[in-house]
């Protein structure tokens, strides 16, 4: 939906199962349209689409599928403004973990997939409107090997520059503003605002002023409020660092993380959030600084059993419902969302694409679910729209 200052708000359809186009389209007709009827029945409804590599290839190859989807968008008064291009392959129901980063930006497969997503969103979005695709932060730290790190990082930068060139050609043909958002994530190639700024300096290194400006127009950051909160960053400092470095905020993911004091009882209860599907990175603070990072909950649990000082606070990369507090013993990071929106309320215009992203519905403890998935999404819209209104953005 379109809010004040040209802001588009939607939810990411990666919450629903769907790897083929038929499965994806079924989810849109079943769930997304049900949400639309409850939150935006009298206005145009913006969709944050997730397409796997398989679904994107099917759509690209078959004009009749694209035509049918466009007809459905018209019939439901809906539009696509952004695509989540982070998860390339299977995203529900089987082990994802670190494979969500594969193939990474060292590979031509990631480049081809992302270019295809832009070709598709250009066909589905309203004419002349800005569109975005979000993607992983280059790679996963563990994928970068000491002996080949220079070559791997060079390949990442080269492929991102080639993607930027593709966007230039699309812009020249359509006049549309197209932009890619790299998404800092705990233990990604870059995860903090400082690491992100350093990566972008590497990305534009050696370019002349004009080429640098074009690249920074086409490639920016997808700022996930859960991820930066897990890193114990404050939105004013993080956003300020990115904008001061000339980095575009392409899109903002509105999401919330788990917080807890690492008592024996709380850490014991945290075991209910471990699943065999997603990584749940843990970042530990002593109250003043980050002291430890763990790839996943089992590593954090093992450390907790042996350490004499488990820190003062743990933050866990587990996307919890935005609209409600977690169960007893836990807190959340919704204040990061509020802090970010307060910044935008003071100075609107530096980002127009907002996407709610609580993809963990299937693995969430049952007590945290609000009815069915449609109920949860509607409740998240209600909370987010309340925050947008609070800061004069809706």
Collapsing DSSP to helix, strand or coil, 110 comes out as helix
Q: Which residues contact 20 (CB under 8 A, 6 or more apart)?
A: 52, 54, 55, 58
For 324-346, what is each residue's pLDDT tens digit? 999 889 999 999 999 999 999 99
Largest CA distance in the chain: 62
- Which one, of 157, 80, 90, 87, lies nearest residue 118 by Cα? 80
Give me the mean pLDDT over the 74-100 stretch.
96
State how far the Cα of 378 lies from the Cα of 324, in Å rounded to an integer: 12
Confidence of residue 367 (pLDDT cuts 50, 70, 90): confident
pLDDT band at 132; cut points 50, 70, 90:
very high
pLDDT cut 90: percent of the chain above it: 97
Average pLDDT of 373-393?
97
Sheet holding 282-285, edge to edge: 290-294, 282-285, 313-320, 256-260, 331-332
Domains of the chain (ranges, CATH numbers) = 4-255+333-390 (3.20.20.150)
Mean pLDDT, rounded, for 170-194: 97
pLDDT reading at 369 higher than 90: no
Q: How many helices (H) and strands (E) does the chain have?
A: 14, 13
pLDDT of residue 173: 95
CB 393 within 8 A of CB 345: yes
Q: How much of the chain exceeds pLDDT 70, in percent? A: 100
Instruction: For 5-33, write each residue's pLDDT tens digit.
Output: 999 999 999 999 999 999 999 999 999 99
CA–CA separation, 139 and 122 (whole Å): 26
Q: What was the pLDDT predicted at 370?
A: 66
Answer yes or no: is pLDDT of 223 > 80. yes
Is 70 exceeded by the pLDDT of residue 376? yes
């Amino acid at each position: 939906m379109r809010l004040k200052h040209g802001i588009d708000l939607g939810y990411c359809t990666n919450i629903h199962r769907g790897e083929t186009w038929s499965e994806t389209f079924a989810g849109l007709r079943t769930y997304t349209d049900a949400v639309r009827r409850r939150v935006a029945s009298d206005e145009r409804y913006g969709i944050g689409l997730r397409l796997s590599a398989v679904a994107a290839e099917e759509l690209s190859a078959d004009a009749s599928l694209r035509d049918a989807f466009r007809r459905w968008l018209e019939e439901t008064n809906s539009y696509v403004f952004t695509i989540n291009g982070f998860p390339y392959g299977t995203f529900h129901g089987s082990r994802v973990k670190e494979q969500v980063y594969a193939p990474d930006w060292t590979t031509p497969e990631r480049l081809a997939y992302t270019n295809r997503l832009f070709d598709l969103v250009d066909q589905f979005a309203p004419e002349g409107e800005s569109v975005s695709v979000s993607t992983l932060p280059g790679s996963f730290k563990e994928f970068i090997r000491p002996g080949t790190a220079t070559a791997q990082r060079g390949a990442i930068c080269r492929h991102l520059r080639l993607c930027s060139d593709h966007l230039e050609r699309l812009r020249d043909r359509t006049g549309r503003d197209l932009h890619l958002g790299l998404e800092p994530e705990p233990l990604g190639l870059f995860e903090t605002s400082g690491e992100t700024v350093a990566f972008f300096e590497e990305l534009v290194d050696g370019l002349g002023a004009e080429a640098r400006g074009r690249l920074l127009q086409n490639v920016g950051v997808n700022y996930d409020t859960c991820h930066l909160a897990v890193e114990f960053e404050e939105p004013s400092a993080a956003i300020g660092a990115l904008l001061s470095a000339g980095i575009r905020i392409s899109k903002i993911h509105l999401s919330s993380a788990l917080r807890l004091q690492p008592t024996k009882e709380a850490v014991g209860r945290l075991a209910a959030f471990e699943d065999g599907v997603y990584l749940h990175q843990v970042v530990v603070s002593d109250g003043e600084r980050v002291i430890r990072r763990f790839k996943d909950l089992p590593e954090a649990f093992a450390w907790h059993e042996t350490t004499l000082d488990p820190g003062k606070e743990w933050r866990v990369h587990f996307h919890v419902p935005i609209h409600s507090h977690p169960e007893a013993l836990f807190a959340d990071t919704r204040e990061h969302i509020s802090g970010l929106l307060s910044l935008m309320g003071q100075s609107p215009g530096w980002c127009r694409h907002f996407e709610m992203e609580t993809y963990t519905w299937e693995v969430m403890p049952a007590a945290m679910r609000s009815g069915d998935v449609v109920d949860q999404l509607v409740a998240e819209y209600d909370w987010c729209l309340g925050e947008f209104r609070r800061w004069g953005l809706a």
